[in-house]
Amino acid sequence: MRKAGAFSLLALAGVLLAQESPHETATDSLVAAAAQLAALVGHRYEALDAEARAALTPALVVSLETFRDEAIARGVEPMPIEVLEAFDGHLPDDVLASVRWRIEPESLLIGWNVLQSGMRAVTLDNLILFASAEEAANVKLWAHELYHALQYRQWGIEGFVEHYLVDRAAVEREAWEFRWQWMKATGRAPITGAE
């Protein structure tokens, strides 16, 4: 089965970290390797075998952790109370309590995500980055991104990366399905016709 899309936020994280890091670190070689591998395989999932995924995973984990930590250092907020209340009973309390967010209008990471999926937000572990205040006010977008936070909690960062590399579509499909079920359960789903 052909897996759609590109490395999305995962490979881009390695590429951007390699470009934006102002200092050399021990992880630079891993990040550079991730960027080179992404270029070599033409950004296609189907070109990655298990050995390539295993080699790429550590660099992507470091990239995601670095992006998350740098965004946290710039300042983050706890979930707005109205968002927290909207998901109370729909997601585990520990996930809801741990999620932080910020607006990153100039984020190349979000820009890449928009190109790959149309989403104007990205989740890095328990941190959600939104492209604008408008997106941050969209509780339906929160649903999708909060489910990714749950996936990170269930799988860990390395497990999330591994799942994403093996079958990005399945990871995203779970988040879309949660969003849809939550919308139906809370009366936010569009009415599709008279019954």
Domain ranges of the chain: 8-185
Contacts of 11 (CB under 8 A, 6+ apart): 34, 35, 37, 38, 43, 56, 60
Residues 44-84 have pLDDT tens digits of 555 677 887 888 889 889 888 988 998 999 999 999 999 99
Q: How confident is the model at residue 13 (pLDDT cuts 50, 70, 90)?
A: very low
User: What does the pLDDT read at residue 186?
Assistant: 96
The CA–CA distances, whole Å, from 111 to 13, 134, 170 equal 12, 16, 22
For residues 90 and 151, what is the distance between their CA atoms, to the nearest angstrom? Answer: 14
Q: How confident is the model at residue 166 (pLDDT cuts 50, 70, 90)?
A: confident
Instruction: Give pTM, 2 decimals.
Output: 0.75
Cβ burial of 192 (10 Å; 0-12, 13-18, 19+) is exposed
User: What does the pLDDT read at residue 39?
Assistant: 47
